[in-house]
Structure 1
Amino acid sequence: MTNKEIIEAVKEHPGNKVKFAIIDIDGVLRGKYIHKDKFFDNLDHGYGFCDVVYGWDSADKLYNKSSITGWERGFPDGIAKIDLESFRPIPWDNDVPFFLADYSAGDKMEAVCPRSLLKKIVTKAEGMGYFPQYALEFEWFNFHKSEANNQSALKPQPQPIFDGMFGYSLVRIAQGSNYFNDIFDLCEAFDIKLEGLHTETGPGVFEAAIQKDAILKAADKAALFKTAIKEIAHPYDITPSFMAKWNQNLPGCSGHMHQSLLDENGKNVFYDQKAKPHMSPLMESFLAGQMEALPYLMPFFAPTVNSYKRLVEGAWAPTTLTWGFDNRTTALRILNDRPETTRIEHRVAGADVNPYLAMAAGLASGLYGIENNLRLDTPAFEGDAYSNGRLKSLPDNLHDANIAMKRSKLAKEILGEDFISHFAVTRDHEWNEYVSSVSDWELKRYFEII
């Protein structure tokens, strides 16, 4: 749709309101309803939106230190600009018109806005003649709502909607057919077309692969998907969880990121029919850039304390700095059997990832490899990457990962010093919240016996 057609669609909608949202650092949508009159009156100039959305964490707790906002600045409004191209009606909410927004160019908040960061890197890629095409696939657990809220160590654990380890189960799909069908159909009506939806191995866990698209649209769809699932699940009294690891005895939840580059004619530049094994020199450079940068960009792919509990041996998640052809034990998995599907699957990212930050880091590090004509200094890994003790390990906790990012000249070069500075503050806050808390493990271990 053209912008004119989108504006007409909003005018013709029988309702009197519009919903729009900004993406915060943790990938959470922060939004509101506005009257259609306000929508049209401020479309060119933007809408006031309190800058606290980049001054607090996912639980609305203010950061102790902030590089961009705080009490000393009075938490003023920034100016949010609605992106008309993000328009989609919400099919489970009376088709109310919905939009995504960014802080305006020149607004101080633009420097730390994840969507704005991705747009800048996309502009750079297109200036180099490359058009990134990305997609995310998500795994998530589904729980009975009344029991999912029992978070105390002295109460029962959340109860998944299904029992048993039933990956790719047609029986479980049939047993939850209304919910499954709503996910598939309502997401498509919300402009989030799914390639596939199935049960994963684990009680009540699903996996959805979102159809690939131009990178900004792919990030939009991935971010909106997580919120859509939570809203679609509500009438079924189901609580979905995208946390990376909710139970130490079960596999975690991935957010695998699929990456390719097209030229101006739509040709996949990662594929080379003449090369062995069909991997172009440009793809090699892109991959080499990601390999070099990955140890310093881990918070972009594993942003929470919980993320690193998923990244353990034998749990379908990578632990080493490795790449390989169709190898699910490596960090970066190459799929290149034909031009249309040749891509790099980034397997470090979990379901708790902020899609804009993961895609920004993946693209920026790949472009760095192309700009510097990097070549891979390690061969494709074959076999079990968990069992080789000589391989370089990835950071195994948020604290160490954040220190590596803060000290990295490469991270600041490719993603901007302002963004890295602010993002590091938010990850320090996340770690400090963790170490100062009293865990369920501590309660169970020490509550009575000690």
Structure 2
Amino acid sequence: MADTPTSSDPQRIQQWLDDHRITEVECLIPDMAGQARGKIVPRHKYDPAVGLRLPEAVLTMTVTGDYPEKDYTSVADPDMHLLPDATTLRPVPWAKEPTAQIIHDCFSFDGKSVDLSPRNVLRRILKLYADEGWKPVVAPEMEFYLVQVEPDEDIPLKAPVGRTRRTEAGMQSFSMDAINEYDDIFDVMYDWCEAEGIQLDTLIHEMGTAQMEINLDHGDPLPLADQVFLFKRTIREVAIRHQMYATFMAKPMQGQPGSAMHIHQSVVGMDDGRNIFSRADGEASERFFHFIGGLQTYLPAAIAFFAPYVNSYRRLSRYTSAPINLSWGYDNRTCGLRVPHSVPQARRVENRLAGVDVNPYLALAVSLACGYLGMKQGLKPTEPLSGSAYEQPHQLPRHLDDAVEKLMQCAPLVELFGEHFIQTYAAIKDTEYREYFDVVSPWERRFLLLNV
């Protein structure tokens, strides 16, 4: 990755493609669900100076591939103009032929950024910070499960068989031997991530059966959102090639903990690189507390971005070691907002609300936006909690439809993200909820069929 171009110069992209003897180019954009959409183009037909086209309606698709009843793009179903971001140019390690992947940005043909593009949404929030002379620093932590291959979606998922030819017994938090059960998978994962420039930090075994956590090195939000986006593709591919699935569902298995994407956040000055959450004497600054105040004030209205599916709300329960409110505390993992012990320059806030099923661009954008509003409005947080937040009242929406309603009613978030984007996102979530509501579950058939 050292020779990957760091500018948008099409000539440098062409040179990289030539140097790596690329025969095909995967031209990617993340959609609202964080899925990779785009086109595969033969190398000899790919011109990074020209880009390519894709229907704008792709950005209004639900996770099932459906669309809201109302059109949130032009009724003419126009194309977007996709242009490559050269900093995202990477090989596809699992391809049989030399293949490149590159994330593209979405523009209209008059040169304006498409406001429904998740990458553009994150960019707009980062510009708000830049206008203040600030630069956010984030570090995502992703939890996921390895499970047995099961094509029938009516059959519950099961933990996979490891190298000992057995499934895990009980919960194996932080177990080295339990990680070693899947050494073949993780060896390939590290090799492929290194080839793609995905900066993995640590790997641990989480609480659930065959539940893992990968931490990424801290850095700029946009490149890290790209890495989360690409990591999900990568580990799914690794797992499939080892006859398993890797799943980023928030709550894939009954009786097991959910999977989160914890977001560590701090802010530094663009000029001096100093953490604005700390004063010169090392104590916490007012902006640090205002940032927490903004998260506490606005995250409840933004829950639809952090719990974007019906399944997401199965995780947010006091019985699953996940947040049920936005209490905050020092090194208190029961809180939705945790402040880890650190030196002053590394002072940060960990947002523990997000499930790993989020779109990483939107989750980072919204979390930073809530903190930004807190700093701009001088919002004060509650007192830090030293006890268990699970014993505190539930403060978050319990269902997706409630979350969407709260989002639509939050004028500051609508103003910050734009009415068109918020209405489109809400319509997508409403469509997904209605599709889910049509499904009759096994629980209903088991307990209601002959008993009511």
Shifted more, 251-260 versus 76-85: the winner is 76-85
Tell me which residue corresponds to 1:292: 297
Query: Could you tell me how far apart the structure 2 residues matched to 1:75 and 1:444 are?
Result: 44
Secondary structure at the residue paired with 1:366? helix
In 1, the alpha carbon distance for the partners of 2:304 and 2:315 equals 14
Alignment partner of 1:259 is 2:265: yes
Query: Where in structure 2 are the equivalents of 1:393-412 lying within 5 Å?
Result: 393-412=395-414
d(CA) in 1 for partners of 2:159, 2:392: 36
Q: Corresponding residue for 1:198?
A: 204
Task: Look up the match of 1:308.
Answer: 313
Q: Which amino acid aligns with 2:439?
A: S
Q: Which residue of 1 aligns with 2:23?
A: 16
- Tell me which amino acid in the other structure corresponds to 1:318: P
Q: Does 1:61 align with 2:63?
A: no
- 1:274 aligns with 281
* 3-state SS of paired residue (1:289): helix
- Once the two structures are overlaid, the 10-residue window that deviates more, 91-100 or 303-312, is 91-100
RMSD: 2.0
Shift of residue 267, structure 1, vs aligned partner: 2.0
Post-superposition CA distance 1:71-103 (Å, at most 9, x none): xx2433221121111111122225522110121
Partners of 1:333 and 1:182 in 2: how far apart?
Answer: 33
Secondary structure at 1:329 match in 2: coil
Asked if 1:134 is matched to 2:141, the reply is: no
After superposition, the C-alpha distances for 1:252-294 in whole angstroms (9 at most, x for unaligned) are 011111111111222222223536xx32212112221111111
* Pairs within 5 Å for 1:284-363: 284-363=289-368
| Structure 2 Cα separation of the partners of residues 48 and 437 of structure 1 | 36
For structure 2, the residue ranges without an aligned partner over 5 or more in a row are 162-166
Paired positions, count: 436
Which residue identity does 1:312 align to in structure 2?
S
CA distance in 2, matches of 1:285, 1:156: 44
Partner of 1:160: 160
1:114 matched to 2:118? The reply is yes
- Three-state SS of the structure 1 residue aligned to 2:143 is strand
CA-CA distance at 1:386 after TM superposition:
1.1
Shift of 1:381: 1.2
1 CA distance for matches of 2:288 and 2:225? 21
1:433 is matched with 435
| Counterpart-to-counterpart distance in 2, 1:406 and 1:107 | 29
The equivalent residue for 2:385 is 381
Contact 1:150 1:157 in 2 (8 A): no
Whole-Å separation in 2 of the counterparts to 1:393 and 1:156: 30
Q: TM-score, normalised by structure 2?
A: 0.91
Paired with 2:212 and 2:357, the residues of 1 have a C-alpha distance of: 15
Does structure 2 retain, via aligned residues, the 8 Å contact 1:256–1:348? yes
Q: Which amino acid aligns with 1:86?
A: T
- The equivalent position to 2:106 in structure 1, one of 98, 103, 117, is 103
Q: In structure 1, what is the equivalent of residue 164 of structure 2?
A: none
Q: C-alpha separation between the residues in 2 aligned to 1:437 and 1:169?
A: 38
Identity rate, percent = 32
Among 48, 66, 77, the residue aligned to 1:75:
77
Deviation string, structure 1 residues 207-226 (Cα, Å, up to 9, x no partner)? 11111121100111111111
Give structure 1 stretches of 5+ with no counterpart: none
The question of 1:171 aligning with 2:182 is answered: no
Deviation (angstroms), 1:448: 6.5
| CA gap 1:214/1:417 in 2 versus in 1, 3 angstroms | same
CA distance in 1, matches of 2:449, 2:190: 45
Out of 240, 252, 261, the residue aligned to residue 246 of structure 1 is: 252
2:94 pairs, out of 86, 92, 95, with 92
Report deviation, 1:29: 1.0
- Contact 1:111/1:117 (8 A) holds in 2: yes
Q: Which amino acid aligns with 2:148?
A: H
Matched, 1:217 2:220: no
The one-letter amino acid paired with 1:405 is L
Alignment CA distance shift 1:333-1:89 (3 Å): same
Instruction: Answer yes or no: is the 8 Å Cα contact 2:266–2:349 preserved in 1.
Output: yes
Amino acid at match of 2:17: V
Q: Aligned partners of 1:247 and 1:260: how far apart in 2?
A: 33
Distance 1:74 1:167, change over 3 A: same
Provide the C-alpha distance between the structure 2 equivalents of 1:387 and 1:83, rounded to a whole number of angstroms. Answer: 47
Question: How much has 1:184 moved relative to structure 2?
Answer: 2.3
Calculate the TM-score normalised by the size of structure 1: 0.92
One-letter code aligned to 1:333: R
* Matches of 1:281 and 1:193, distance apart in 2: 32
**SS of residue matched to 2:89:** strand
The answer (yes or no) to whether the contact 2:60–2:424 under 8 Å persists in 1 is no
| Paired residue type of 2:41 | I
